[in-house]
Amino acid sequence: MKPIYRLILLIFLVQSPIIYADDYVLGHGYNSGSWNISGYATTELNLPHQRAANFTVNDFSIFIHGRVNRYINPFFEGEYANQTLWLEGAGVLSSGAGQFVLERLYNDSYFTDSVFLRAGKMLTPVGEWNLIHAAPLVATTIRPLTTYLNFSEFTSGGSLNYVAEHHSLLPSVILYYQPSEELLPKTLASSPYRYKNVSGLQLVYARDLDWRVGFSMQHSEVINRHEHQNLFSWDGRYDFDSFALEMQASYNRIVGNPKIRQRNDEWGGYLQLTVPVIDDWSLIGRGETFTARDAKSSQQNAVFAVNYRPNAALVWKLEYLFVKGATTNLNEGVYGSFGVMF
């Protein structure tokens, strides 16, 4: 081994504050020294009315997290997505390969215990769903349009984060900026807008795990449409007993190149209620309306789902999606999935 590599290895080992290993716990990943490797996998059986039924591995994700010292705390998440295993009318493994996606690659540097700088590719802080969008962590297989459709889901740049203390009157704050284009974006087929010059702010008030109120705003350029947009989003969650009520609403003002769209104002919102039934079973009901910039009319959709979650890291979901109005990304039908964090 070259002396310089030996030196780097030595510095790395010395900087690692603790070397320990504990027993493996499902969903907690595997620890080795100051590093943790984990991931999640989701398979979906989709039976939409007006499209071919399919059985798909819609995420096999690995994430690696290091906690080296105050200034070096790297995080990587890469996933293999959208691998159709069976497609109605085409058969098994007949519709090509899935895609490799770089979801996150960043480093956190702590200035104090509550202020840190994140640099790299990260999930954009708009609402709560986008930050925890892994299938085993969210209530339904179908994701509300409001939580991803009209803003940059990923930011490749930097963010300054302030984490508010418990019971503080101050909110947690994130300020972020992406000067150029997204690092290794998804294909245009799965993510049709390309953003640059993205800047934004998120404010979050939260009390334990009982309630959360968030406000997000984002300015961006949609470079492949020659548009500029200003998005404002509000989200909230309220847990009472074992019930959970959550919502997100957004308004987006679009300027530039008006001929390519139906309207300059885009808006949407959803309201979701989770009701525990027995033991590990719960029922979910959600209603959403979304008016997309390119659609002539709004879309209303409603999801009724049943979840079986025998472990926090593992969930089975079955749901029916009703759709009325414009067909914006969602198709009426039955959807089922199995998700596990490992």
Looking at beta carbons only, is 5 or 20 nearer to other proteins?
20
User: Where are the extended beta strands (E) located within the chain?
Assistant: 30-32, 35-48, 54-66, 74-81, 83-87, 91-92, 99-110, 115-123, 154-162, 172-178, 195-207, 211-222, 227-240, 243-255, 265-276, 281-291, 299-311, 314-325, 333-341
Looking at beta carbons only, is 29 or 185 nearer to other proteins?
29
From the list 212, 219, 104, 109, the residue with the least C-alpha distance to 164 is: 212
Nearest distance in Å: CB 2, other proteins: 31
Looking at beta carbons only, is 64 or 223 nearer to other proteins?
64
Nearest distance in Å: CB 217, other proteins: 21
CB count within 10 Å of CB 342 equals: 18
What DSSP line would sit under 188-212, residue for residue?
A: TTT----EEEEEEEEEEEEETTTEE
Q: Which residues bind other proteins (CB under 8 A)?
A: 17-18, 20, 22-23, 25, 27-29, 31, 36, 38, 40, 63, 65, 67, 70, 73, 75, 104, 108, 110, 112-113, 131-132, 134, 136-137, 163, 165-167, 208-209, 239, 242, 309, 311-313, 341
* Type of residue found at 49: H
Looking at beta carbons only, is 2 or 166 nearer to other proteins?
166
Site of tokens 């979801």: 103
Looking at beta carbons only, is 73 or 150 nearer to other proteins?
73
Nearest distance in Å: CB 273, other proteins: 16
Site of tokens 């979901």: 317
Looking at beta carbons only, is 106 or 193 nearer to other proteins?
106
Looking at beta carbons only, is 17 or 179 nearer to other proteins?
17
Tell me how far apart the alpha carbons of residues 242 and 221 are, in angstroms, rounded to a whole number: 41
Site of tokens 């964090």: 341
Q: Extract the tokens encoding 319.
A: 């749901």
Nearest distance in Å: CB 23, other proteins: 6
Nearest distance in Å: CB 148, other proteins: 16
Nearest distance in Å: CB 77, other proteins: 9
Looking at beta carbons only, is 27 or 48 nearer to other proteins?
27
From the list 97, 64, 105, the residue with the least C-alpha distance to 80 is: 97
Tell me how far apart the alpha carbons of residues 262 and 294 are, in angstroms, rounded to a whole number: 5
Nearest distance in Å: CB 106, other proteins: 8
Nearest distance in Å: CB 324, other proteins: 32
Looking at beta carbons only, is 38 or 337 nearer to other proteins?
38
Whole-angstrom distance between the N-terminal and C-terminal Cα of the chain? 34
Nearest distance in Å: CB 307, other proteins: 11
User: Buried b vs exposed e over 307-336: b needs ≥16 C-beta within 10 Å?
Assistant: bebeeebbbbbbbebebeebebbbbebebb
* Type of residue found at 199: S
From the list 311, 322, 315, the residue with the least C-alpha distance to 336 is: 315
